[in-house]
Every structure is written in structure tokens, then in C-alpha cells.
Structure 1
Amino acid sequence: MYGMLLESVQHFVQLEYGDEIWQKALQLSECKYTVFNTHQVYPDHIMGCLASALAQITSQSYESFMNFFGKCFVRFFSNYGYDVTIKATGRHFTDFLENVDNIHIQFALSYPKMKSPSMYLTEVDENGCVLVYRSGRQGFTHYVMGQLDEVAEDIFNLKLETSVLSQENVTIGTRNISIVHFRLNFDNSQYISAKKAETAAHLETRQLAPFSCSLLLEMFPFAILFNSMLEIVGCGERLIQVAGGGNKLLKQSVPKFFRLRRPKGIGFTWKNIINLKSVMFEIELLRGELVPKKEGSNLTAENTLSDKAGTREIEIDGKSISPYALRRDSQPGLKNILLKGQMRYLDDINAVIYLCSPVVNDINELPDQSLYLNDLNQHGLGKEMVLAGWQHNSKLGLMFDKAEQRATELENNYSLLDTWKRRGDDLLYSMIPMTVADRLRTGKSPLSTCESFDCVTIMFSELVGFNSTTVQDIMELVSTMNAVFSCFDSLVDKYHVYKVETVGQVYMAVSGAPECSENHAQNICDVSLCMMRHVKQLQIPSGTKVDVRIGIHSGPVVAGVVGIKVPRYCFFGDTVNTASRMQSTSSPGMVHVSKQTKEKLPKDRYVTQNRGLVKLKGKGEVATFWIFEKPTAVE
């Protein structure tokens, strides 16, 4: 489907439900598109997935959202002036229903890849009508009902009640077609009155004497007259001429020499033709079935058509050729001819006449179809359209090419925008916790991020054993710090620990803030012991022996975002100072914890050793402990 249908959905969902609901629907439906381009073709399943996602988010039904999407499209296409086309179709709502297929055919010029459904009426009365809807798409029944409701109410000022009489899926050729019969109840009295008045006027003022059928076929040189058995009983003069002369088409079955192109998804039957009498038909003349005998060729009446394995083939000069292969441009004068026009029922002879003319897009196509300008209807605009198309077709094609190129560039730009947005988010979340950063994005003041925590656990870890006296020593120190701290960074997320910062050779981390956790002391001790093991196993490029000393303390803190340039999420309070003192009084290769941290650890998970009283600056002598891991206790 074209992007305009999905544009309408996005616009009205954001308008009525908000952008947050729309973004959730995109994520839940796994839709990779964030913006839809009007003339770009998208997979059909996107609309159904969006309806299912919105139904799940809002606890409404899938059918109600498909109905809502149909109404959205009718409201939305007024922006493009398409409502004017509907208003100009006819005086009554029934006139519009009879001409839906014709509207789709006209829009095929702007939307050449459109796979439009087919609609026709089978019963019309003063209380409404029965509408038959045929489409290759499945699951769009309520979408169509929404469209009909909105057109009736907004354009024709009618109250419409729609019900489904029957619904079935049939297979025609290789296509699965969904056929739905709707009963549309509305005030149709004006349409019925107009039809009765028209019939009465016709009987009183338009009684004409019979005239020869040959005159009608002369006026419409490509017309086809056939009976209820689909047997050709008359042809226009030019059609006979391009068929090779003679009476090759007379008394032959229409489907033998003609293929139905539009309306799509229906069989070429008498019933369908009568039901769709108001719809424009496109029928293709199969030139492969009418190849004239050429001088010097072996094409004879006996060997013209041979049925091989169920496929009709043509033998020319001893070679078998598929009739459809003759459509190629390499076969001048043998290309199939596309006829476009209307079926009219002649009740006095119980026959249908197809009043049509050939579809010629460009003057260069005339030789391929063995046609000339004087073959076209003299009373129509066929010649003018061919000549105008020849002058403007190249410009129009160039405009479409540029539009498609710009649409592709726009899609690529949006893809790059998403990529850089993700990179920006990753960089922001590396400096500020995600929950805090999201609060700032909503426009809240940085001061609003400042909050207090009753108890967290803070760890300081320092690299020891370096003597940075020369430039080479400093370079080795930087390389070693990068290797060790990168290792630490890969561990903290695993244990739900937040890295605060690194200052010189000191690495600071916290658990319990900004995401609260009851196991903050255990998380810090687990990651500290894991760091010890990994440092011992780490291969340093310079071969320098690396050792760390770690200090841990638990207590209350205050945290918040500080700074405008390179902002940081910082922690303040006596707990931070005490944890730093625990690290500075620790020993290489040891994890030094305070009494407050030890009391918050689960029993029997670690091996602890009383270090005794240790003098901490500003604290005096306090009891501290060494902590070790039990075998298999920490992964």
C-alpha cells in the first residue's frame, strides 16, 4: 500500500492519542519506519500490525481501530483535494458507490503501483443497497466500513448503517480474493426518484426509430458486441482490421482473444459484466492468437495453434512461440492492444456492447500496435491525448524519477538520524544514568535530579605499584589504566552497579543509586571480588604487574547532576569520604569493608577477617574487615 494511507493513520493517532502512544505502537508492532512517504509503497501487513498494537495498548478491539483507520484516510485525503473528486462523481451517495472503481482507475496515473479493490452494487432500493467488495488484501473489512461511514457522513451528509451479510475467500488463478457482501442502510429515496424520473423522460422524449448496428460499430471502430454466451456477434471496423481482416473474431468466445485487465480479481463472466456496468473496463487484445500469415512463412490454418502440454503456442517458420512472447517490443506490429471503455447492456437484443478505444501512452507505441492516429475515434480526444502525452511524458517521467530519488534520500537521512540518535543516547547514558537523563529531556531543571538516598554502598578502587618518573612510564600507566578500567566497565553492569567516575588511578562505583536496590552491599562486594580475580588474569601489554586496593563503605548520600559542559552525576556526603578513607588504608590485592557494610551482607556468603581498629582521617579508630570470596560463591 502507498504511504498516504499510513500517513493518515500516523497523523490522527498522534492527534487523538498522543505521540507517546504512537511511539509505543511502532515499537510493539516492530515497524521499522518512523515516517511514511506519500508515494512510497509499504508492506500491507503494517496497518494490521499497528491496529493490533494500539488495541493491546488501549484495551480496545482490533476491529474498532481498523474502522478508525478507514475514517482517518477519508479525513486525511482532503488535504490533497481528493474529496473534490468524490463530490464531483455524482449527486448521490449511490452514484459514488457505482463509480469507486472508476475513481481508482483515474488515480492510477498518480499511483501506478496501486492495488485497488473492486466494488459494485447488486441491489438498490429506497432504504440503501447491497455492496460487493472484492480485494486481494485480507482483514480490511472494517477498514472499508470506516471509509464508507466517513464518506457518507462528511461528504453526502447521510447517516449510514453498515452490516456484513457474508464473507468468503476464493482463489482466482494464483490470487486469493476476499469477497464481502455489505448491506448499507441509508436514505436512498432521492436516488430512486431521480432514476424513475429519468426513465419516464426517456420513454416520453427519446423514442427513436431503430438504426443499423453497423452505424454504431462505425462510430466506435474498436467496439465489441457479444451475447450472454460471451460469443462475439459484432466488431468495430478498426478492430477487424488490426485482427488481420476477415471474420476471425466473429462467433468466437471473447476470453479466447481478449484478456480482462480491469476490474481486477474478477472472472470474465456475463454476471460480473452486468453487475459492473458502471465501471470502466480494460481488456487486452491478444495479438498472439491473431498472427496474420506472412509471405514465405510456414504459418497455415492447420498449424497456427497447437496445444502442447496444455499451453497454446504459435508455430512460425517451424519455431514454437508463446503468444505472450509476441508482446515484446522486438515484434513490431504484434504488440497486444489495450482497450478501455464501458460495457452497455442492450436489452432489446440481450447483448452487451463494449464501447472502447485503445490506450496509447505515447506516439511511439503506435507502430508496435499496428495503429495510426486516424484509427482513433474521431469524436474523442484520443489523438490530442497521444500527442500531448508525447510532449509531456518525458517531463512527467523525469519528475517522478526525481520524486522517488528524493524519497529514497529522505528515508536514508531518517535512517542516519536514528543511527546518530542512538549514538548520542549511548554517549549521554555513559555520563548520566538513563532515568536521570530522561527526566532532563522532559525539560525538568537539573536541580530536580538532586535527591537523597537513605543507604547506598560506595566502592573506591585504586591501581598501585606505579612510579611515573619518565614519559615512557606515564605512557605505560595510561595504557595499563585503560586496560584495567575497561575490564571494570564490562563488569559493573552485570552486577547492577553504577560507575560514577575515574579520578587519576582511582575508580569509583556505587550500588543503590540512582536505581534503588536492597542488595547494594552484596552487589558492590561481588563486583569488587570479581575485579580482583580479573586483574590477576589480565594480560597487560607492557608486562607490568598490576595490583589494586579496594575500600567499601555503606551509608546515606545525596546525588545530582552537576555542571553544564560535560555534566556528571555526582555523590556527596560523609559516606563518600569514609569510603575513600577505606580505600586509602587498604592493602594491595585486598578488599577493605567497614562495619556498616559487613552488617548488610548476607551471612555465610563471604569469608570475612577482622582487621581490628584502623585510624581513619576525621573518624578516629574504627573497626574494619577484610573480605574474601568463598569457592563457587561468586560467579
Structure 2
Amino acid sequence: MYGMLLESVQHFVQLEYGEKIWQRALQMSECKYTVFSTHQVYPDHIMASLALSLAKITKKSYDSFMNFFGKCFVRFFSNYGYDATIKATGRYFTDFLESVDNIHSQFRLTYPKMKSPSMYLTEVDENGCVLIYRSTRHGFTHYVMGQLDEIAKDIYNLKLETSVLSTENKTISGQDITIVTFRLNFDNSQYILSKKAENAAHLETTRHLPPFACDLLLQLFPFAIVFNPALIIIGSGGKLVEVAGGKEKLLGQPVTKYFRLRRPKGINFTWKNTFYLKSVMFEVEILRVDLVTGNCERSDEESETLGENLSTREIEIDGKSISPYTLRRDSQPGLRNILLKGQMLYLSDITAMIYLCSPVINDISELPDQGLYLNDLNPHGLSKEMVLAGWQNSSKLQLMFDKAEQRATELENNYSLLNIWKSRGDDLLYSMIPKPVADRLRSGNSSLSTCESFDAVTVMFCELVGFNSSTVEDAMELVSTMNAVFSCFDSLMDTFNVYKVETVGQIYMAVCGAPERNENHARNITDVALCMVKHVKQLQIPSGTKVEVRIGVHSGPVVAGVVGIKVPRYCFFGDTVNTASRMQSTSEPGMVHISESTKLLLPEDPYLIKDRGAVKLKGKGEVETYWVFENTYFSDGTDGDAD
């Protein structure tokens, strides 16, 4: 489907449900597109997936959203002026319903890849009509109902009640087609009265006109076909005879032998269908291969294969095997199938149907492939002028379409890059500032609002020891080693719900309990500290340098907030931070040094805590401190002394 249908969905979902709901629907439906281009073709399943996702989010039904999408499209295409086409179709809603197929045919000039459905009326009365809907798409019944309801209300000021009489799936010409019969109830009395008056005026006018020969119609429409109720061809236009290679090939033959019905979709080429669908525009394809070879023993699938794969097939003429392209090189008429478009008209005096039609020529370059010339087109119509005008404007339009598609592709790529860089920016931001704090700043709050006091957190300082960076080589080795060790530490932080504050030189600082409050802050910091000691011993340093750490831990109140404009940081302040730093500086390699306040917060079971004795801390004097170990520490016979 074209992007305009999905544009309408996006616009009105965002308008009525909000941007957050739309983004959630895109995520749930796994839609890789964040923006839709009007003239770009997208997979059909996207709309159904969006409707299903929105139904889950809003707790509404899937059918209600498909109905809503149909109404959205009718509201949306008014921005492109397409509502004027509907208003110009006829005075009454029934006129529009009878011309839906014709409108779709005209739109295919702008949207050549459009897979439009086929619609026609079978019963019309004062209370409404019966509409037959045929489409290769499945699951769009309520979408069509929404469109019809919105058109009836907004354009024709009618109250429409739609019900589904029947739904069936058929396979016709190798295509799975959904056929839905609708009963449309509305006030149709004015249309019925106008038709009665029109028929009376027609009878009064034609009463004074003498009859004329059917040959005159065949001269006016050189591609016309006349066939009887048995679908036997009893007459054809002169140009059609030239294409067929003589009257003897067409007259007396079934019309289905050399012609295939392309539109209306999902119906067979029968007398009944052509008689009751006279108001519908018919598209009939001339099967050129069968006309040249005389082959008629084929199925619909074989006909389609023969008509579309001429490049891989050779035909036999006068006992010689010749490819279609050889014929073209020899200036013979082209063998490409010709598409005829026109109306079926019933001739009551001879009990026959005449197909008044003209070839569909999209561009002047198609004439040689079809073996046609401008003089073959109807002299009284505008076919020649349209072909020439299309040839003059097609290059400009093609250039515009190519540029539009290129820009749409570039825009889509830019949106993908934007998402990638946004994700990288988020990762960088969250590495400097905690996610809850960063989200608060993004919502418009000032940096002062991030300043908070925390009654109980645990702060850890860890220092790498055993380095000598007196030379450049030593400094490079130090940087490489620090990168390996600190990267290992970073991977441990999320595991224990600990926030890494910063690294200054060889010092690594981490906090638990802020900005997200956590009752187990002391235990989490102790666990990660013990893991850091263990991982450093097991870590393979490329240079072979032996690395050790000394860690200090202290618990207490702090104040935290975002500081700085360039490279802002989430910093911690207070005596707790200073004490933790002193605990680290008085620790020893391979040991975790904790204060008494931290010890009181730790359970006894998973740890072995040994009294270190009084330690002199700067600004604190003599303070009682402790070593903490895992239970497995002493199981190997180690006494745990740090002396």
C-alpha cells in the first residue's frame, strides 16, 4: 500500500491518542518505519499490525481501529484535494458507489503500483443498495466500512448504516480474493426519482430517432468487440481485426479465447457479469501470443504466464521457431499484450453486448511494443492528445518522482541514523549522569532540582597500587592496565545495583543508595568490593603487570546533585565521602577496609569481619575500623591477617 494511507493513520493517532501511544504502537508492531512517504509502497501488513497493537494498548477491538483508520484516510486525503474528485463524481451517494472503480482507475495514473479493490452494486432501492467488495487484501472489511461511513457523512450528509451480509474467500486466476457483500442502508429516494425521470426523458428523446447500423459503432470504436449471450464474438472493430491478423481469427470464437478480464477484479468473464455491471469500467487484456500462435488450450494461470514472460518463450510461424524480440527487430508488430479499457453496453435489438473501449497507452514508447500507432487510436477521442501530453510530461514527472523517492529514502536513512546517534547520546549521557536524574533534566527541570540529601548511602573508593610511571613507557602501560581493570569494574556495577561516580587518576569511586534509594546499600557495596578484589587477581593484564587494589568503604548521609555545564557530573558531597576516601588511603593492597557504620549495616552470615583496631584518620583521630572477607577466605587455612 502507498504511504498516504499510513500517513493518515499516523496523523490522526497522534492527534487523538498522543505521541506516546503512537510510539508504543510502532514498537509493539515492530514497524521499522518512523515516517511514511506519500508515494512510497509499504507492506500491507503494517496497517493491520498497528491496529492490533493499538487495540492491545487501549483495550479496544481490532475492528474498531480498522474502522477508525478508514475514517482517518477520508479525512486525510482532503489535504490533497481528492475529496473534489468524489464530489464531482455525481449528485448522489449511489453515483459515487457506481463510480468507485473508475475513480481508482484514474488514481492509478498518479499511483501506478496501487492495488485497488473492485466495488460494484447489485441491488439499488429507495432504502439503499447492496455493494460487492472484492480485494486481494484480507482483513480490510471494517476499513472499507469506515471509509464509506465517513464519505456518506462528510461529503453527502447522509446517515449510513452498514452491515455485512456475507464474506467468502475464492481463488481466481491464481489469486486469493476476499469477497464481501455489504448492505448499505441510507436515504436513496432522490436517486431513484432522478433515474425514473432520466429514463422517461430518454424514451421521449429516442422515440424520434431512426435506428442505425451496428457497423457504425465499430467504426467509431475500432477496438470494440460484439458478443452474444454465449460469449461468441459476432463483430469486432477494424483495428482489432488488424491486431488479430484477420476477421477469421475472431469471428465465431469465444471471447474468452483471446481476451482475459482484468477488471473488475475477482469475477469471471460471463454474460451475467457483463450485463449487470454495465456501469463499471471494464479492463480487458488481448492475449497477443494466443492470437499469433492460435493456441487456446490454456488455463488462466497459463495465459498469465504466456502474456508476461514472452522473453523466455519462442513462437512458431510458418514452421519456424521465432522469438518475439526477433519479430520486433524485423519491424513486425509487437507481441506485448494490449490492455483495453471501456464500458459494456447492451444492444437489445440484436441481444448482444458491445464493449466500447480504447487501448490503454501510458507512454508513447509503449506503442512499438504493442504494434500500435497513433493513427490506430480513436479519432474522435482524446487518446492521441493524452499520449503526446503524457510523453512530454512523463520525463519531468519521472524526475520529480525519482527525487521524491530519493529524498524519502534519505529521510528514512537519516531517521535511522538519528535513532542510532540518539541511542549513543543516551548511553553517553547516562554514563555521566544517572538515568533518573538525566530524565528529570530532559523534562525541563533545572540542575538545582537534582540536588538531594540522602540519609544513608555507602561510598567506596578503590585505588590501583603497584605502579611506577617514571617513564613514558611506564605511563602507557599504566593507562592500558587501568583501562583493562576499570572496564572490568564497570561490568560489575550494574550487577550489584551500584552507581559508578567517577575515576580520578588511579582512584575508582562508586556509591549505592543514591540517586536510587536502596536499603541494602552497604551489602551491595561490600559484595562488589569483594568481587573487585577477586577479579583483579584473576584478570589477565596484556603487559603481565601484577595489579592490586586497596579499597575503603564508609556509610552515612550525603548530598548529591549535577554540577557543571561543560561535561556535567553527578557529584556527592559531605563528610561521608571524605571518610570513605580516608578509609581507602589507610587500607592495604588486596583488602577491603570498612568503617564501623558500615559494619553495623552488614549481616553477619555471608561475611567474615575482623577487627583491625584503631586507625588514625586525617581529621577524625583514632577510629575503630575492620577488614571484611568472604566466608571462603578462611576455608583455605588463611588467617586473614593484614599485617
TM-score by length of 1: 0.93
**Deviation at residue 268 of structure 1 after TM alignment:** 2.0
User: Which residue number in structure 1 is paired with residue 536 of structure 2?
Assistant: 535
323-332 vs 391-400, which deviates more? Answer: 323-332
User: Which residue number in structure 2 is paired with residue 285 of structure 1?
Assistant: 286
Pair 1:73 & 2:65 matched: no
Pair 1:163 & 2:163 matched: yes
Quick check: 2:222–2:238 contact (8 Å CA) kept in 1?
A: yes
CA distance in structure 2 between the aligned counterparts of 1:418 and 1:330, rounded to whole angstroms: 56
Pair 1:424 & 2:425 matched: yes
Query: Given the superposition, is the C-alpha separation of residues 21 and 308 from structure 1 closer, same or farther in structure 2, using an over 3 Å criterion?
Result: closer
Cα deviation digits, residues 202-228 of structure 1 (max 9, x gap): 122222332211112122111111122
Pair 1:148 & 2:172 matched: no
CA distance in structure 2 between the aligned counterparts of 1:162 and 1:504, rounded to whole angstroms: 75
Cα deviation digits, residues 38-57 of structure 1 (max 9, x gap): 11111111111111111111
User: Which residue number in structure 1 is paired with residue 639 of structure 2?
Assistant: none
Pair 1:193 & 2:187 matched: no
CA distance in structure 2 between the aligned counterparts of 1:630 and 1:49, rounded to whole angstroms: 54
**Deviation at residue 329 of structure 1 after TM alignment:** 11
**Deviation at residue 593 of structure 1 after TM alignment:** 1.6
Quick check: 2:235–2:251 contact (8 Å CA) kept in 1?
A: yes
User: Which residue number in structure 1 is paired with residue 11 of structure 2?
Assistant: 11
Cα deviation digits, residues 108-143 of structure 1 (max 9, x gap): 111111111111111111111111111111111111
510-519 vs 14-23, which deviates more? Answer: 510-519
User: Which residue number in structure 2 is paired with residue 106 of structure 1?
Assistant: 106
User: Which residue number in structure 2 is paired with residue 93 of structure 1?
Assistant: 93
CA distance in structure 1 between the aligned counterparts of 2:198 and 2:106, rounded to whole angstroms: 27
**Deviation at residue 344 of structure 1 after TM alignment:** 1.7
User: Which residue number in structure 1 is paired with residue 637 of structure 2?
Assistant: none
- Superposition map of 1:113-132 within 5 A: 113-132=113-132
Query: Given the superposition, is the C-alpha separation of residues 332 and 213 from structure 1 closer, same or farther in structure 2, using an over 3 Å criterion?
Result: closer
Cα deviation digits, residues 1-48 of structure 1 (max 9, x gap): 111111111111111111111111111111111111111111111111
Letter of the 1:544 partner, please give it: T
User: Which residue number in structure 2 is paired with residue 583 of structure 1?
Assistant: 584
Letter of the 2:121 partner, please give it: L
Quick check: 1:6–1:47 contact (8 Å CA) kept in 2?
A: yes
CA distance in structure 2 between the aligned counterparts of 1:411 and 1:203, rounded to whole angstroms: 60
Quick check: 2:128–2:187 contact (8 Å CA) kept in 1?
A: yes
CA distance in structure 1 between the aligned counterparts of 2:455 and 2:177, rounded to whole angstroms: 66
Tell me, what secondary structure is at the counterpart of 1:248? helix
**Deviation at residue 321 of structure 1 after TM alignment:** 7.5
CA distance in structure 2 between the aligned counterparts of 1:598 and 1:228, rounded to whole angstroms: 101
Cα deviation digits, residues 522-552 of structure 1 (max 9, x gap): 2212211111111112233333321110111
Query: Given the superposition, is the C-alpha separation of residues 430 and 172 from structure 1 closer, same or farther in structure 2, using an over 3 Å criterion?
Result: same
User: Which residue number in structure 1 is paired with residue 611 of structure 2?
Assistant: 610
Query: Given the superposition, is the C-alpha separation of residues 324 and 72 from structure 1 closer, same or farther in structure 2, using an over 3 Å criterion?
Result: farther
CA distance in structure 2 between the aligned counterparts of 1:15 and 1:203, rounded to whole angstroms: 54
User: Which residue number in structure 2 is paired with residue 352 of structure 1?
Assistant: 353
Quick check: 2:333–2:372 contact (8 Å CA) kept in 1?
A: no
**Deviation at residue 482 of structure 1 after TM alignment:** 1.7
Pair 1:396 & 2:369 matched: no
Letter of the 1:514 partner, please give it: P
Letter of the 1:615 partner, please give it: K
Tell me, what secondary structure is at the counterpart of 1:380? coil
CA distance in structure 1 between the aligned counterparts of 2:434 and 2:551, rounded to whole angstroms: 24
Cα deviation digits, residues 549-601 of structure 1 (max 9, x gap): 01112222222111111001111222222221221121110011222222333
Cα deviation digits, residues 212-259 of structure 1 (max 9, x gap): 111121221111111222221211122112211132111211111011
Query: Given the superposition, is the C-alpha separation of residues 502 and 566 from structure 1 closer, same or farther in structure 2, using an over 3 Å criterion?
Result: same
User: Which residue number in structure 1 is paired with residue 438 of structure 2?
Assistant: 437
**Deviation at residue 318 of structure 1 after TM alignment:** 4.6
Letter of the 2:284 partner, please give it: I
CA distance in structure 2 between the aligned counterparts of 1:273 and 1:581, rounded to whole angstroms: 96
User: Which residue number in structure 1 is paired with residue 449 of structure 2?
Assistant: 448
Pair 1:63 & 2:63 matched: yes
Query: Given the superposition, is the C-alpha separation of residues 113 and 568 from structure 1 closer, same or farther in structure 2, using an over 3 Å criterion?
Result: same
Letter of the 1:602 partner, please give it: P
CA distance in structure 2 between the aligned counterparts of 1:630 and 1:176, rounded to whole angstroms: 70
Tell me, what secondary structure is at the counterpart of 1:33? coil
Pair 1:247 & 2:241 matched: no
Query: Given the superposition, is the C-alpha separation of residues 311 and 412 from structure 1 closer, same or farther in structure 2, using an over 3 Å criterion?
Result: closer
User: Which residue number in structure 1 is paired with residue 172 of structure 2?
Assistant: 172
Structure 2: unaligned runs, 5 residues or longer: 307-314, 635-643
33-42 vs 487-496, which deviates more? Answer: 487-496
- Superposition map of 1:312-351 within 5 A: 314-316=315-317, 318=319, 332-351=333-352
**Deviation at residue 335 of structure 1 after TM alignment:** 2.6
419-428 vs 264-273, which deviates more? Answer: 264-273
Quick check: 1:128–1:185 contact (8 Å CA) kept in 2?
A: yes
Tell me, what secondary structure is at the counterpart of 2:248? coil
**Deviation at residue 98 of structure 1 after TM alignment:** 0.9
Quick check: 1:329–1:368 contact (8 Å CA) kept in 2?
A: no
**Deviation at residue 501 of structure 1 after TM alignment:** 0.5
CA distance in structure 1 between the aligned counterparts of 2:297 and 2:55, rounded to whole angstroms: 55
Letter of the 1:140 partner, please give it: F
User: Which residue number in structure 2 is paired with residue 265 of structure 1?
Assistant: 266
CA distance in structure 2 between the aligned counterparts of 1:251 and 1:456, rounded to whole angstroms: 98
Pair 1:34 & 2:23 matched: no
CA distance in structure 1 between the aligned counterparts of 2:3 and 2:503, rounded to whole angstroms: 50
Quick check: 1:101–1:280 contact (8 Å CA) kept in 2?
A: yes
Cα deviation digits, residues 254-297 of structure 1 (max 9, x gap): 111011222333322333323432222221111212228xxxxx
Query: Given the superposition, is the C-alpha separation of residues 306 and 268 from structure 1 closer, same or farther in structure 2, using an over 3 Å criterion?
Result: closer
CA distance in structure 2 between the aligned counterparts of 1:174 and 1:478, rounded to whole angstroms: 68
User: Which residue number in structure 2 is paired with residue 494 of structure 1?
Assistant: 495
CA distance in structure 2 between the aligned counterparts of 1:331 and 1:33, rounded to whole angstroms: 48
CA distance in structure 2 between the aligned counterparts of 1:520 and 1:270, rounded to whole angstroms: 85
CA distance in structure 1 between the aligned counterparts of 2:633 and 2:344, rounded to whole angstroms: 85
Query: Given the superposition, is the C-alpha separation of residues 400 and 595 from structure 1 closer, same or farther in structure 2, using an over 3 Å criterion?
Result: same
Cα deviation digits, residues 430-485 of structure 1 (max 9, x gap): 11111211121111111222222232222110111223333333333222222211
Tell me, what secondary structure is at the counterpart of 1:184? strand
Query: Given the superposition, is the C-alpha separation of residues 632 and 366 from structure 1 closer, same or farther in structure 2, using an over 3 Å criterion?
Result: farther
CA distance in structure 2 between the aligned counterparts of 1:363 and 1:148, rounded to whole angstroms: 37
Pair 1:525 & 2:507 matched: no
